[in-house]
Amino acid sequence: MNRRRLLDAGLLRQWPLAPLEPGCDKELRGRVLLIAGSREIPGAALLSAQAALRAGAGKVMVATAQSVAMQVAVTMPELRVVGLPETHSGGFDLTGLARLDDALKRADVVLIGPGMQDEDAAIAFAQALRKRHPDVPTLLDAAAMGAATREPIAGPPVLLTPHAGEMAHLNGQSKDSVLADAEGAAREAARWWNSIVALKGATTVIAEPQGDLWVHEGGNPGLATAGSGDVLAGLIAGFAARGASLVQAAAWGVAVHARAGDRLVGRMGGMGFLASELLAEVPALVQGLAPAGAGRSTWVDLPGAMPAAPARRTAG
């Protein structure tokens, strides 16, 4: 039987992130490998990287377009930055993948896609990466999401983070039909692609391949701004680096992202804040949700059971 759970503060407090001990060092807080950005959209890599660190990751390595790697490194000195060779249309050439082998062996999570140009090149890069390193927990965002939809992808389920327009592009439906039944669209997509799907919107739905759903309600229009999705993807990666499963990391990322938007609405009004302004809100929100507290969130059975998904990593 499929189950549905409301993603609220009560659930998060019952499902806490692994605590960071006072004496822990950056190695114990986890490593993120972020493959992102392009010569026209270098800022996406910066937003995702900052979000991963705000979420508590210990180290972030950014692999980005060689033409902008130096600017990214200078802009954010907390990062290790590697430049990758580019295709004529601005994507990453597959010859650059070998440069990342050592980093992939040490990474606790990989996020690929924010700000990448050339969808075909992004998909090819993501598919090749998974074939070389199928077991590392992987988030596919933006142009890289097609890697999970065009052909079976190696290893445990990955996490996809589409909004309704991207979902329509990926599954061939209309955007209106996705919006009309977001829960159904997310659940079916997760089953078809054997992936975890976080379908973003005013109501965000996280679906697992076997049919379980987490639903977050109460988004605000101010979050529909350039770079907001890059911040969300980085938050999820940061929580996963700390040891959360991809599902738990997605749940915490969606909830913290929405609450950061709510805080900015309270101070600045409903529209006009920047995605980068979400970042400073994150640490206090994570701390505020961390303690165990009252409140219960129960499963609700949904009709139409589906077969269980293959075994997957469940750390966290």
Q: How far apart are CA 138 and CA 132, in angstroms?
A: 13
- 44 assigned ligand-binding residue: yes
* Spatial CB neighbours of 242, under 8 Å, sequence gap ≥ 6: 17, 18, 20, 29, 30, 55, 56, 57, 316
* Spatial CB neighbours of 74, under 8 Å, sequence gap ≥ 6: none
Q: How far apart are CA 311 and CA 14, in angstroms?
A: 24
- 23 assigned ligand-binding residue: no
- 201 assigned ligand-binding residue: yes
- 229 assigned ligand-binding residue: yes
- 75 assigned ligand-binding residue: no
- 203 assigned ligand-binding residue: yes
- 250 assigned ligand-binding residue: no
Helix ranges restricted to H, 101-244: 101-106, 119-132, 164-171, 175-180, 182-193, 228-241
Closest-CA residue to 229 (of 219, 215, 243)? 219
- 135 assigned ligand-binding residue: no
Structural contact between residues 117 and 91, judged by C-beta atoms closer than 8 angstroms: yes
Residue ranges of the annotated binding site for AMP are 200-204, 229
Residue ranges of the annotated binding site are 44, 115, 163, 200-204, 229-230
Residue ranges of the annotated binding site for (6S)-NADPHX are 44, 115, 163, 230
